[in-house]
Chains A and B, each alone.
Chain A
Amino acid sequence: MSIRPLILAGLDGDRTWRLQDYVARGGYEALRKIIKEKISPDAVIAELKASALRGRGGAGFPTGLKWSFVPRAFPGDKFVVCNSDEGEPGTFKDRDILRYNPHAVIEGMIIGAYAMGATRGYNYIHGEIFEVYQRFEEALDEARAAKLLGQNILGGDFSFELFAHHGYGAYVCGEETALLESIEGKKGQPRFKPPFPASYGLYGKPTTVNNTETFASVPFIIKMGGEAFMNLGKPNNGGTKIFSISGHVRKPGNYEINLGTPFSELLEMAGGMRAGRKLKAVIPGGSSAPVVPADIMMDCTMDFDSIAKAGSMLGSGAVIVMDETTCMVRALERLARFYHEESCGQCTPCREGTGWLYRVLHRIELGIGRPDDLDLLRSVAGNISGRTICALGDAAAGPVQSFIKHFADEFEYHIENRQCLVPLAVQDAGSQIYVGQSC
């Protein structure tokens, strides 16, 4: 299969984020076409549906369908919101989209607003990438000056205002209703659903929240047509997708490939394993996705359906690669601490359970685990799953359940022998400071 990036294509050089460069790459042609030919909002949504574009933020919900939920005729304000609060360990694609191709996101949001009848939008950017927030503000200024934003866009009758908003260090704000609370100037605690944002979103108004990469894909879909976009991937998994590869590979970085590309090819693009070491396991969709052992992963293709069949999820496309020097107890302990730190504290099972998971994993790692600790971990994880307002509870439980399922022997060895199966010196050698070839 030919690999032909869309969003990350032609991004060499340090001015690719400028409006002029984006236009030279064919930018804003999709928006011009819609305004000039007066393509109806319904026709835009139909194109999105035909593209089989699925949300790139983690849940993989069909974008065209999501857009069709907004009651366009409903009087009053409606909002589109872009979720660039990228903080799931392993995920770093939205940062590069916003750094090198912010206008693709802006154009996608304008088209989304047009299709859903929204008059105002916000892009919520992860606080830790503040430099990217500043750049996005500059890109917005360029778009306003070129009459691509504001009143009567490109001389048509559609008007839309777009602004940047930033977080300041809270993973949970990547959850869409927590994100909306955060834009309202509150603690980022997820809302109980229903009502869903499509009917009761930002400031209580109909709101659609999509991921950065989802919006960035929209101009390409309008330009090439929904069906052509779908055919880049496979049915139900349309288009290209950016995968963020981190961990024990030679060239960590972002790679945009056609959905359905074999994992082995993606691994090769990322330079393969370091120092000729053997692949041990992969977390294919960000830290919340269940871990997949090497042999199963090598048979997977990179698309929503194949990864789901392997018992995990494609999530945001964050591929964390671990080689044979990795201690799975230590890896899981680190993830467990993250979820404990980041639990917003609203739901008891998550607030208490994540701490419990971390403390038990920590004592196993320290060599003072108890014989029934694995049962305890399974029980605590099971009592978090499905018992919280948002998906963060499941996100915390999933890794624990999958690590223990696939690497039970390593956990048992750790408890019985009070040390790692992988000798510490080996682990240390495998996780030295490694600066991959930047790409």
Chain B
Amino acid sequence: MLSQESLQQIDREIAKYPSDRRQSAIISALRIAQQEKGWLSKELIEFIAGYIGIPPIAAWEVASFYNMFDLEPVGRHKITVCTNLPCALSGGIHAADYLKQKLGIGFNETTPDGMFTLKEGECMGACGDAPVLLHNNHRMCGFMTIEKIDQMLADLEKQ
């Protein structure tokens, strides 16, 4: 269900914990699975639970608790914009509004071509770089002026 490379990455995570504490690797394992498949289907979560050796419900509890996990399909590029207070004081809302207008979608929506999903995020711990957004959970983009947003979207469309 997952590539050999992903499984090796999961094994490296499991090795960080005492041998009888494999469950500790569940967040990392779900993250690695999501990176490969784009989102976490029920089958994928069950597979990961089996691989780690924990009941499926224990994996499901984690997948549904942490909000960077996507339990439904998202576009190829998920963009999460922080609109929390510190970011909002420096244009976080304006950046989000611009993205909505430019992509023609609202929060929690995906463009019809399946390219972009827009999400509203809570604090990412980078308030000094406002406006801040995350691309596909892992790449943080700060100081996002209109020009930089345009550039970013153009670059992503080419990928």
| Minimum CB–CB distance for B99 against chain A, Å | 12
With A169-B67, A431-B89 as contacts: A131 and B138 at CB distance below 8 Å: yes
Name the B residues within 8 Å of A246 (CB-CB).
86-87, 89-90, 127-128, 130
Most A CB contacts (10 A, CB to CB) among B25, B27, B86, B134 go to B86
Name the A residues within 8 Å of B139 (CB-CB).
131
Contact present for B83 and A185 (CB under 8 Å): no
Name the B residues within 8 Å of A127 (CB-CB).
27, 31, 66, 68, 137
| Minimum CB–CB distance for B24 against chain A, Å | 5
Q: Does A253 contact B (CB under 8 A)?
A: yes
Q: Does A83 contact B (CB under 8 A)?
A: no
| Minimum CB–CB distance for B122 against chain A, Å | 6
Name the A residues within 8 Å of B69 (CB-CB).
168-169
Contact present for A87 and B62 (CB under 8 Å): no
Q: Does B44 contact A (CB under 8 A)?
A: no
Name the A residues within 8 Å of B65 (CB-CB).
170, 187-188, 344
Q: Does B152 contact A (CB under 8 A)?
A: no
Contact present for B91 and A432 (CB under 8 Å): yes
CB within 8 A of A87: which of B24, B27, B83, B123?
B123
Q: Give the nearest-CB partner of B29 in chain A.
A: A185
Q: Does A326 contact B (CB under 8 A)?
A: yes
Contact present for B94 and A433 (CB under 8 Å): yes
Contact present for A334 and B84 (CB under 8 Å): yes
Question: CA A438 – CA B122 in complex, angstroms?
Answer: 22
Question: CA A433 – CA B145 in complex, angstroms?
Answer: 6
Name the B residues within 8 Å of A11 (CB-CB).
none
Contact with A along B110-137 (1 / 0, CB 8 A): 0000000000011111111111001001
Q: Which residues of B22-55 are within 8 A (CB) of A?
A: 22-28, 30-31, 52, 54
Comparing A89-97, A149-157, A301-309, A381-389, the segment that makes contact with chain B is A89-97
Question: CA A171 – CA B26 in complex, angstroms?
Answer: 18
Contact present for B54 and A338 (CB under 8 Å): no
| Minimum CB–CB distance for B79 against chain A, Å | 13
Name the A residues within 8 Å of B61 (CB-CB).
186-187
Most A CB contacts (10 A, CB to CB) among B26, B121, B127, B134 go to B127
CB within 8 A of A165: which of B16, B85, B121?
B16
Contact present for B66 and A165 (CB under 8 Å): no
Contact present for A187 and B62 (CB under 8 Å): yes
Question: CA A322 – CA B89 in complex, angstroms?
Answer: 8
Interface residues on B, range: 35 or more
Contact present for A433 and B68 (CB under 8 Å): no
Name the B residues within 8 Å of A87 (CB-CB).
122-125
Name the B residues within 8 Å of A185 (CB-CB).
21-27, 52, 54, 58, 62
Q: Which residues of A318-363 are within 8 A (CB) of B?
A: 318, 320-322, 326, 331, 334-335, 338, 341-342, 344
Question: CA A164 – CA B28 in complex, angstroms?
Answer: 11
| Minimum CB–CB distance for B32 against chain A, Å | 11
Question: CA A431 – CA B66 in complex, angstroms?
Answer: 30
Contact present for B66 and A334 (CB under 8 Å): no
Q: Does A310 contact B (CB under 8 A)?
A: no
CB within 8 A of A91: which of B17, B121, B125, B138?
B125
Contact present for A335 and B125 (CB under 8 Å): no
Question: CA A297 – CA B132 in complex, angstroms?
Answer: 28
Question: CA A246 – CA B128 in complex, angstroms?
Answer: 5
Q: Does A244 contact B (CB under 8 A)?
A: yes
With A131-B138, A185-B24, A433-B95 as contacts: A167 and B122 at CB distance below 8 Å: no
Q: Does B105 contact A (CB under 8 A)?
A: no
Contact present for A89 and B86 (CB under 8 Å): yes
Q: Does A128 contact B (CB under 8 A)?
A: yes
Name the A residues within 8 Å of B86 (CB-CB).
89-90, 246-247, 320
Q: Does A436 contact B (CB under 8 A)?
A: yes
Q: Does A166 contact B (CB under 8 A)?
A: yes
Name 5 A/B residue pairs within 8 A (Cβ), A-sorted.
A165-B16, A167-B66, A331-B85, A433-B131, A438-B143
- List 8 tightest A-B contacts by C-beta distance, closest first: A433-B91, A185-B23, A169-B68, A246-B86, A246-B127, A168-B66, A169-B67, A128-B124
Interface positions of A (Cβ within 8 A of B): 77, 86-92, 94-95, 122, 126-131, 163-171, 182-188, 203, 244-248, 252-254, 287, 318, 320-322, 326, 331, 334-335, 338, 341-342, 344, 430-436, 438
